[in-house]
Amino acid sequence: METTTVRTKVKDLLKKQPGQEVLAKGWVRTKRGNKEVAFIALNDGSTINNIQIVVDKTKVEDSLLSKITTGACIGVCGTLVESLGSGQAVEIQASEIVVYGECDPMRYPLQKKDTSFEYLRTVAHMRMRTNTFGAVLRIRNQMAYAIHEYFHSKGFVYLNTPLITESDCEGAGQMFQVTTLDLNNVPKNKKGAVDYSKDFFAKQTSLTVSGQLEGELGATALGEIYTFGPTFRAENSNTPRHLAEFWMIEPEMAFYDIKDNMDLAEDFIKHLVKYALNNCYDDIKFLNDRYDSELISRLEGVADTEFVRLPYTEGIKILEEAIKNGTQFEYPVSWGVDLQSEHERYLVEKHFNKPVILTDYPKDIKAFYMKQNEDGKTVRAMDVLFPKIGEIIGGSEREASLQKLEARVDELKMSRNNLEWYIDTRRFGSCPHSGFGLGFERLLLFVTGMTNIRDVIPFPRTPKNAEY
Ligand code: 4AD
Ligand code: MG
C-alpha cells in the first residue's frame, strides 16, 4: 500500500474538500454494486457515518474484490470526490485496496435474524462494531471527558480513592471480598473463625462500594474533590438498572450545605446533558431515530427545566393521594418505607413531569454519615430522580458533629475498628460539608435512551455473568 498518504479518519474525511488523495482504513459495513462498479460502505469507529468507496471493477482483481465482504478490514487509497449519490457529500474513488483481515461470510456472527442486544452481549468482538454500540461508547467517552472538564474548570481536585478497602461505606454489606486465602483450606483461629491475620492484608478486605469516606478526608483537606472510578456491589438485583461493577462520580465539598449540594448536582447534570447534545449529536440522533423518538426532546427538556425540590414527607403524601385516586403500585407506601423505582417514576413521570430532588428522608433508611435534622427523624439526604431511570444521584450533607456521628454509629451497632480514621475528621477541625454520587451508567441510560444498563458499559458484570 502506498505510504505517501497518511491515514485520515472517516470522521475527518467526511468534512474534507474533494480533490485530495486520501488513505482510509476500517471495516466493511456493506458491499453492493453492479458489473462495472462496487460500492463499499467503510466505517472506522470514529463516527456513526460511513465513507463510501467506489471501486472500478475493471481495475481490481476479482480475487481481491471477493475478499472484501462485510466485516473485513481494509485500507483504501484514492481520490476524494464529490458524491453523486444522496446521503453523503464526498466519497473515495479507489485506486488501491489492501485487505488486512478477511471475514468469512459463512461464519459471520451477525445474521439479520438475531441481533438483539442480549445476543450481541455474547459476541463481544462484534458488539462494539455495531452502529448502536459504537454510538453508545462514543457518547460514554465524551461524557467521561465532560465530567473531568466540568470539575477541573471549577477547581475541584481529582482524588483517587482505593478500590480495595476495609470499610463498608454504605453499610449495606453488599461487598465482594478480596482474599488470597486458599478457600479449600481456610486458616481458622482458636474460636473457629477465619484467621484473617494470615490473609494478604492481615485483615478482611473487600472491593469498594463507594469512595465517599476517603473522599471526605480529601474534601476536608483540599476543599473540593471528586472521584471517578469503578465501584462494586454484590447486590443480587437482576434489574435493568443495576450492575455489580459500575462507575461512580463522587464530588465532596467542604463548606457546602444541602442547598449548595443540590445546586451543584442540578448544574452538573444539566451541563452534561447539554454537552452531549452539543458534542454527540450524530450519535444521539441515530439512537433517537432508531429506538426512541422522544430521546432528543427528553434531553432538551431536562437541560432547560428547573428540577423540583421536594421533602420525602411531601412525596409520600403525593403517593398516598395517588393510591386513593386509584393508582396501583406493587409495593406499599407509608411514611418510613424506602421508595421503589415505581414510586420514584410516578413522582417524576406522572405527577411533576420533570426531574425531582427528594430530600430529608427518614434516617432509618439512609446511611450513618448523613446530617441529622432537628426533628430527630429525618436526615439531610438528597436523591435526584429522573424520568425513565428513577434514582440517578444519591447524596447528602454530612454529619459534622462528632457527638452526633458517634451516637449514630453506636445506635446502628457498627464496628468502630475500621472507622476511627474517618471519625477523626470530626475530631480535628471538623467542617460542614456535603457530597453526592452519580452513577455513570445511570447517566448514560438517560443520555442514550438505552433501556438496559448492561448495554451502556463495554463489559457488563451482573449476577452469574462475568465473561471476558
Ligand atoms: O445512592 P448510592 O448508594 O450513594 C452512595 O454510594 C454515596 N456514597 C454517594 C455519595 O454521597 N458520595 O449510589 C450513588 C449512585 C446511585 O444514585 C446510582 O446512580 C448509582 O450510584 N448506583 C448504581 N449504578 C449501577 N448499578 C448499581 N448497582 C448501583 N448502585 C448505585
Ligand atoms: Mg442511593
pLDDT digits (tens, 9 = 90+) for 335-387: 999 999 999 999 999 999 999 999 999 999 999 999 999 999 999 999 999 99
Cβ of 395 less than 6 Å from ligand 1:
yes
- pLDDT band of residue 111 (cuts 50, 70, 90) is confident
> What tens digit of pLDDT does each residue of 49-60 get?
999 999 999 999
What does the DSSP 8-state code read for residue 417?
A: T
Q: Residue 189 above 80 pLDDT?
A: yes
Q: Give the C-alpha distances (Å, rounded to integers) separating 72 from 21, 42, 111, 341.
A: 23, 10, 15, 44
Q: Which residues pair with 438 in a beta bridge?
A: 249, 393
Nearest CA, atom 4, ligand 1: 394
pLDDT band for position 3 (50/70/90)? low
| C-beta 441 within 6 A of ligand 1 | yes
Q: What whole-number distance in Å separates Cα of residue 90 and Cα of residue 160?
A: 45
pLDDT at 284: 98
- Closest by CA to 233, choosing from 176, 156, 192, 282, is 176
Pocket flag, ligand 1, residue 250 (CB < 6 Å): yes
Contact 301, 354 (CB under 8 A): yes
Q: What is the mean pLDDT of residues 390-409?
A: 97
* 430 has a pLDDT exceeding 70: yes
Supply the pLDDT for residue 371.
Answer: 98
Instruction: Give ion ligand 2 contacts, CB < 5 A.
Output: 394
Q: Is the pLDDT of residue 2 over 60?
A: no
Higher pLDDT, 429 or 171: 429
- Contacts of residue 305, defined as CB under 8 A and 6 or more positions apart, other chains included, come to 354, 355
At residue 4 the predicted structure's pLDDT band, cuts being 50, 70 and 90, is low
- Over its C-alpha atoms, the chain yields an Rg (Å, rounded) of 27
**Distance from Cα 393 to the centre of ligand 2, integer Å:** 7
Residues 249 and 243: their CA atoms lie apart, in Å, by: 15
Q: Which of 105-109, 125-129, 202-206, 243-247 has the lowest mean pLDDT?
A: 105-109
Instruction: State the chain's mean pLDDT as an integer.
Output: 95
Tell me how far the alpha carbon of residue 187 lies from the centroid of ligand 2, in angstroms. Answer: 36
d(CA 9, CA 299) in angstroms, rounded, equals: 29
- Residue the block writes with cell 480513592: 161
What are the b/e assignments for 75-99, b being 16+ CB within 10 Å? bbbbbbeebeeeeeebbbebeebeb
pLDDT 10s digits, 14-33? 999 999 999 999 999 999 99
- Whether 390 lines ligand 1, by a CB cut-off of 6 Å, is no
> Quick one: CA dihedral 163, 166, 171, 177, positive or negative?
positive
Location of C-alpha cell 481495475:
59
Query: Alpha-carbon distance 354 to 360, whole Å?
Result: 19
Model confidence band, residue 399 (pLDDT cutoffs 50, 70, 90): very high
Distance from Cα 27 to the centre of ligand 1, integer Å = 38
Q: Is the CB of 391 under 6 A from ligand 1?
A: yes
Q: Is the pLDDT of residue 453 over 90?
A: yes
E-only strand ranges, 106-257: 157-158, 164-165, 177-178, 205-207, 224-232, 245-254
Read off the pLDDT of residues 191-245 as tens digits, 9 standing for 90 and up: 999 999 999 999 999 999 999 999 999 999 999 999 999 999 998 888 999 999 9
Q: Is the model's pTM score more than 0.85? A: yes
- C-alpha distances (whole Å) from 95 to each of 10, 62, 65, 85 are 17, 15, 13, 19
Q: What is the pLDDT of residue 5?
A: 78
H/E run at residue 289 = helix 281-290
How many A from CA of 231 to the centre of ligand 1?
9
- Which phi and psi (to 5°) does residue 133 adopt? -75, -30
- Determine how β-strand 356-362 pairs with β-strand 308-311: parallel
Percent of the chain with pLDDT over 70: 99
Buried b / exposed e over 154-184, threshold 16 CB at 10 Å, is eebeebebeeebbbbbbeeebbeebbeeeee
Which residue has the least CA distance to atom 7 on ligand 1? 437
Q: Does ligand 1 come within 6 angstroms of the Cβ of 138? A: no
Residue 113 scores a pLDDT above 80: no
Report the length, in residues, of the chain: 468
**Residue 148: enclosing H or E segment and its boundaries?**
helix 131-153
pLDDT, tens digit, 9 for 90 and up, residues 235-246 = 888 899 999 999
Q: Pick from 268, 243, 184: which is nearest to 465 by CA? A: 243
Ligand 1 pocket, 216 CB below 6 A?
A: no
**Ligand 1 lined by 442 (C-beta under 6 Å):** yes
| 336 phi-psi bin (left φ>0, alpha ψ -120 to 50, beta other) | left
The model's confidence at residue 84, banded by pLDDT at 50, 70 and 90, is: confident
Residue nearest to atom 2 of ligand 1 (CA): 394
The atom of ligand 1 lying closest to the CA of 250 is: 12
pLDDT-derived band of residue 467, with 50, 70 and 90 as boundaries?
A: very high
